[in-house]
Chains A and B, each alone.
Chain A
Amino acid sequence: MVTNSAATAVSLSASKIIPLSMTALLGLFIVGFVGFSHLEVVHNAAHDTRHSLAFPCH
């Protein structure tokens, strides 16, 4: 029974890997776009946010 539930836990976490990594990548993409994009327009729009979140700016 113990090995059975352990196996379930492993397969559960394996099934979670794809959605969790997709979520994390989506989040990193958003933060990267707002905080790190070199596009001048994005920089100007998010200017005060970048300074206030202490992202490297200018």
Chain B
Amino acid sequence: MSLFRNIVFTAVIAGLLSGLLLTVMQSFSTVPLILKAEVFENAAPEAGHSHDAAPAAAGTAAPAADHHHEEEAWAPADGFERFIYTLAADMLSGIGFALVLVAVSEAFGGFKGWRGGLMFGIAGFLTVILAPGLGLPPELPGMPAAELGPRQVWWVSTALCTAIGLGLLVYTRSAVFAALAIVLLIAPHLVGAPLPPSHETAVPMDLYARFVNAVYATNLVFWAVLGTLAGVIRERFRAGEEVSAGTPAKLASR
């Protein structure tokens, strides 16, 4: 149980800090672009998905909480409330990713310091940002996309294949496994992500290009910091793990 507790402590601290950093980076990079895209989304209802609300000027559309599918669904008010929910979601994502990252690293012998943590962080970036992003690039609101369900299935399958592929590349030494790793890395892209019937959108392409760059840049920093922090903090939370290994001297000293 001490191992579980120590990993959770590590992941919570690393996730909270890197999630906070991610939110700060986003509020200067991706979030302003999302807000700009929502003006286009609201101005062109047919380009995106079901928006019945007739959009007026951008000024009156901004405070409206109904920028999504159903009128009655709750949404955080624009401004501070929305920022707080984004912060919470970023921190939760950071904690969730850190839990998986630390658990996987422990299964392969641990981070062994900040450098190993950084390497695992980069692997995390490749697994959940870069590889799925090759088929399903980051989207702005108002951009056309295929059905949500199949895209989520493709996203999860791609992340899983990439994780296993990277693991095989790093932790095996035989040529067969290396070849299998390459196959796993490219297979999702040969299958191909679900695509929308049309790519037509009211969102300007230069806005979109800046958004894609911002997503990759912020997430690379996020994952590097998340992994490094996890590697550093993991070293400090090892209390009780020797006891569970059953060393009699340690048990007696307690």
Q: Which residues of A contact B (CB under 8 A)?
A: 12-13, 15-16, 19-24, 26-36, 38, 40-41, 43-58
Q: Which residues of B contact A (CB under 8 A)?
A: 1, 3-4, 7-8, 11, 22, 26, 30-31, 34, 48-49, 68-70, 73-76, 82, 85-86, 88-90, 92-93, 95-104, 106-107, 128-129, 132-133, 136-141, 145, 148, 151-152, 155-156, 215, 218-219, 244-245
The residue from B11, B31, B68, B155 contacting A55, defined by CB atoms under 8 A apart: B155
Task: Check B138–A36 contact: CB distance below 8 A.
Answer: no
Shortest Cβ distance from residue A55 to the other chain B in the assembled complex, whole angstroms = 7
The residue from A12, A27, A31, A43 contacting B103, defined by CB atoms under 8 A apart: A27
Task: Check A58–B148 contact: CB distance below 8 A.
Answer: yes
Task: Check B137–A54 contact: CB distance below 8 A.
Answer: yes
Bound together, the chains give a CA A20 to CA B93 distance in angstroms of 18
Bound together, the chains give a CA A43 to CA B74 distance in angstroms of 10
Q: What 14 additional pairs, Cβ within 8 angstroms, besides A27-B101, A48-B89?
A: A16-B3, A23-B4, A23-B103, A27-B97, A30-B93, A44-B73, A47-B86, A52-B30, A53-B215, A54-B129, A54-B137, A56-B151, A58-B49, A58-B148
